[in-house]
Amino acid sequence: MRTICYKTVNGIHLLGDFYSASKTNAPVIVYIHGGGFIFGSRKDILPEHITQYNQAGFHVFSIDYRLAPETKLPAIAEDVQDALRWVRDQAPGMLGIKPSAIAVIGSSAGGYLALLAGSKESYVKAIVSFYGYGDIRGNWASEPSPFYLQKTLVPKKLADQLITKEVLTESSIQQRFGLYLYYRQQGSWIRETTGLDPIRNQEELRLLCPIEYVNPSLPPIMLLHGETDHDVPCEESISMAERLKGAGIEHTLLTLPGEDHLFDRQPEKENVQRAFAQVLDFLYCHLT
């Protein structure tokens, strides 16, 4: 594994971990972690998944990005686009990647970022979203979450203490989940992470929705979602698939009965293994 700075902004170094396949000039997967834009790290990718990607002949570049609410979502999306451009422009000579075979994969917020950035970068050859979302304007995202309201209510004083004065590029779930939980309980998640009001800034929010970028030039897209996801409704992937179908985009929608958010982090389960095997087949088909 090799850690590389792909971008420096205002003195902040944004890092990615590169896991090499056994061959040079191989396709590369840019992996984007989840965490509601608020927590997470490039280190969150499962070692089992890295091994499977590498054994299938794919390099992996797992990236950090600036985190909310200290950094707002438009700048976070720029970080991901800059990572993809760095891979296209700098990584071929430095790391032996094949510039014509770049895929972007993410889970949850990372799935959303993969869809958003991948839709804007025409050289991306495939996108995979694990329980991501195509539209951040829905009630599920901007109103208090019935699921999270069943959990112990986070007091505002505690939530405020979890916000730093510095720019963060990685944070553990133990450190910051309380802030995400507070925002979802209050229905303020989108407002706090974007800096936009869901009512007054509808046009600005529209520009942050991957579903609005669906057009015939998009690469093949694979969407995976647990049917009983309590964090991000499965309907988000279903709606995205319907829009892709309408635009004639090659896509695969895989919904997993009985599975919740983070299902892919249970690699010992047989249905998860089958789903991941389909992801590898999808990538092999479109990157080799």
Kind and range of the H or E run holding 15: strand 12-19
For 41-95, how does the pLDDT look when each residue is reduced to its tens digit (9 = 90+)? 999 999 999 999 999 999 999 999 999 999 999 999 999 999 999 999 999 999 9
pLDDT per position as a tens digit, 187-220: 999 999 999 999 899 999 999 999 999 999 999 9
Q: What would the pLDDT profile of 51-65 be if each residue is shown by its tens digit?
A: 999 999 999 999 999
Band of pLDDT at residue 22, cut at 50, 70 and 90: confident
Alpha carbon 65 to chain centroid, angstroms: 11
User: Residue 167: is its pLDDT beyond 90?
Assistant: yes
d(CA 151, CA 148): 5
Spatial distance between the Cα atoms of 49 and 205, rounded to a whole number of angstroms: 33
- Residue in 67, 25, 26, 30 with CA at minimum distance from that of residue 45: 30
Cβ neighbour number for residue 182 with a 10 Å cutoff: 22
Q: Which two tokens stand for residue 62?
A: 């797992």
How much of the chain, in percent, has pLDDT values that exceed 70? 100
d(CA 75, CA 77): 5
Q: Where residue 24 falls among pLDDT bands split at 50, 70, 90? A: confident
CA distance 19 to 123: 21
- For residue 250, give both structure tokens: 């090659």
Q: How far apart are CA 181 and CA 35, in angstroms?
A: 11
Q: For domain 2-135+214-278, give the fold.
A: Rossmann fold (3.40.50)
Domain residue limits, the chain: 2-135+214-278
